[in-house]
């Protein structure tokens, strides 16, 4: 009996020592970005008028959360009520990358905004996705990390653990950008969860405009998803301040990406004064509200400060990953409208469209917008 107890005690000590050592390793290697980081623009084009944007001309932009090429129609995801954290094979990831690349090449926008782009991550079989898109698109590019961890021990299944993660948001364009920066957003998870969690940011790219000293400021965003909503509010407030400052400085502002919040026109909000509570009627009805809900974005603030929403309500931009995409019974799928654009009043939105890619290669559909910089 004493021998058994001794073995159990030794086992518990080993587990505790290993656990403490692992947390210490995460602590020592934690990704701690500065509030503002100047980023390297790779393969930038020449600083000349021919590579500047023009006033009163149509510009095309695309945003696409590619889900690290691992959240396609066959997949579920543990944080959405599923079980998985990675695809079963490297070839499946590569097939998704090739499919995503074909969409980008087909649309051929002037600016590409991509989210969840992996670079040497175990969860996507260490494929350098950022380099892959550089080679495919052949444009100038910049990457802002928002997720770096030596090992993410989640999900708990050994075959599904995400492991090492290096990931971020990336902007690509054929036009000259004189500056790109990563801005750290406020808010974080409590310790120790924050050690293996995302550090949300925005990626700001500045483009010259022929005939004016004002700039086109393009902001790539991917806001928090799995908080209680308070972090998203903090992040949105910080984003609003930056947008307003840029607009008041005379610049043209375009924000695009995955906001993880429902856009206006995709939700009706009702306030009950008797109970002092709000109720929400989503355009895409929630089959299961207990798993994941995308709360409404603060539409009033944007409208009051002369910003416009560039969204397409005719088709959802994201699906819930509690199970693989059901192509037979659509009522089993849960949808959201959380991807799109917000632009300043000195810009005319000409066209916005959610591409109907049917979530084949990602849990998101890309959104394209055509717009004009008003003279």
d(CA 140, CA 175): 8
pLDDT value of residue 53: 97
Note the Cα 230 to chain centre separation in Å: 18
Q: What are the E-state strand segments in 100-159? A: 111-118, 140-152
Residue 351 has which token pair? 């066209």
Q: In angstroms, how far apart are the furthest CA atoms of the chain?
A: 87
Provide the phi-psi class of 118: left if phi over 0, else alpha when psi is between -120 and 50, else beta.
beta
Q: What is the DSSP string of 188-247?
A: -PPTTGGGGS---EEEEEEEEBTT-S-EEEEEEEE---SS-SHHHHHHHHHHHHHHHHHH
**Distance of alpha carbon 204 from alpha carbon 191, whole angstroms:** 29
Distances (CA, A) of 277 to 271, 272, 273: 6, 5, 7
296 closest CA partner among 311, 314, 280: 280
Q: What tokens were used for 86?
A: 């990675």
Provide the CB-side half-sphere exposure for 210 (13 A, CA). 12
* Locus of tokens 């005379």: 250
296 DSSP 8-state letter: B
Strand, helix or coil for residue 354? strand
Which parts of the chain register pLDDT below 70? 1, 4, 10-11, 14-15, 17-18
Gap between the Cα atoms of 81 and 12, Å rounded = 31
Alpha helices in 29-162 (DSSP H): 90-107, 129-137
Q: What is the DSSP letter of 319?
A: E
SS3 category, 293: coil
Q: How far is CA 321 from CA 95, 139, 312, 362, 364, in A?
A: 19, 32, 22, 10, 10
* Torsions phi, psi for 64 (to 5 deg): -155, 115
Helix axis angle, 129-137 relative to 90-107, nearest 10°?
30
Could you tell me how far CA 239 lies from the centroid of its own chain?
14
CB neighbour burial string for 279-318, b if at least 16 within 10 angstroms, e if fewer: eeebbbebeeeeebbbbbbebeebeeeebbbbbbeebbbb
pTM of the model: 0.95
Nearest 5°: CA angle at 84, between 81 and 87?
140
pLDDT at 339: 98
**Nearest-angstrom CA–CA distance, 32 and 149:** 11
Alpha carbons 70 and 88: distance in angstroms, whole number:
9
The residues with which 64 forms a beta bridge, in sequence order, are 114
- What does the pLDDT read at residue 25? 78
How, if at all, do strands 140-152 and 111-118 pair? unpaired
CB 183 within 8 A of CB 196: no
Q: What is the pLDDT of residue 190?
A: 79
Taking Cα atoms as reference points, which of 215, 219, 213 lies closest to residue 169?
A: 219
pLDDT of residue 252: 98
């Amino acid at each position: 009996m004493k021998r058994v107890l001794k073995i159990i005690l030794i086992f518990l000590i080993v587990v505790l020592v290993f656990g403490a050592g692992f947390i210490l390793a995460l602590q020592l290697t934690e990704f701690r970005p500065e509030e503002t980081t100047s980023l390297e623009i790779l393969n930038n084009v020449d600083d000349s008028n021919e590579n500047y944007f023009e006033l009163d001309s149509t510009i095309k932009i695309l945003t696409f959360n590619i889900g690290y090429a691992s959240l396609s129609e066959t997949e579920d995801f543990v944080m959405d009520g599923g079980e998985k954290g990675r695809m079963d094979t490297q070839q499946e990831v590569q097939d998704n990358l090739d499919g995503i690349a074909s969409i980008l090449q087909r649309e051929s926008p002037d600016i590409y905004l991509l989210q969840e782009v992996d670079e040497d991550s175990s969860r996507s079989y260490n494929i350098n996705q950022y380099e892959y898109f550089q080679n495919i698109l052949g444009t100038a590019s910049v990457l802002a990390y928002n997720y770096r961890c030596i090992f993410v021990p989640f999900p708990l299944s050994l075959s599904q653990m995400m492991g090492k993660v290096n990931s971020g948001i990336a902007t690509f364009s054929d036009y000259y950008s004189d500056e790109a920066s990563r801005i750290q957003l406020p808010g974080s998870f409590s310790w120790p969860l924050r050690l293996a969690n995302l550090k949300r940011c925005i990626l700001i790219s500045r483009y010259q405009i022929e005939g004016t000293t004002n700039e086109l400021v393009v902001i790539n965003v991917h806001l928090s998803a799995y908080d209680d909503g308070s972090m998203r509010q903090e992040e949105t407030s910080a984003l609003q301040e930056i947008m307003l400052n840029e607009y008041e400085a005379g610049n043209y502002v375009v924000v695009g990406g995955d906001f993880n919040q429902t856009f206006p026109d995709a939700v009706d909000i009702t306030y009950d004064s008797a109970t002092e509570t709000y109720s929400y009627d989503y355009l895409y009805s929630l089959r299961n509200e207990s798993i994941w809900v995308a709360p409404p974005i603060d539409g009033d603030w944007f409208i009051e400060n002369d910003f416009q929403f560039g969204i397409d309500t005719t088709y959802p931009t994201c699906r819930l990953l509690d199970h693989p995409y059901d192509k037979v019974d659509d009522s089993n799928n849960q949808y959201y409208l959380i991807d799109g654009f917000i632009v300043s009043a000195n810009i005319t939105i000409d066209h916005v469209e959610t591409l109907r890619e049917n979530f084949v290669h990602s849990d998101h559909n890309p959104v394209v917008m055509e717009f004009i910089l008003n003279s």
